[in-house]
Amino acid sequence: MKLTNKIKKKIVLEKDSGVSTSTIAARYDIPIKTIKH
């Protein structure tokens, strides 16, 4: 799945809300290491 800027913004927002990285990864079907940076 290609990470568009829209999705990246959503991920950042969710991370700021305290959603765990693994939850976000599962939801968007992307590798956890993609989110870490």
Q: How far apart are CA 8 and CA 28, in angstroms?
A: 10
* Phi, psi for residue 24 in degrees, rounded to 5: -65, -45
Q: Say how many domains are in the chain.
A: 1
The confidence score (pLDDT) of residue 21 equals 92
Please tell me the number of Cα atoms within 13 Å of 13 on its side-chain side: 6
- Say if residue 10 is exposed, middle or buried (CB neighbours under 10 Å; 0-12, 13-18, 19+): middle
* pTM assigned to the model: 0.70
The confidence score (pLDDT) of residue 37 equals 58
Tens-place pLDDT, residues 1-37: 677 899 899 999 999 999 999 999 999 898 988 887 5
* Phi, psi for residue 23 in degrees, rounded to 5: -65, -45
Residue 29 sits in which domain range? 5-36
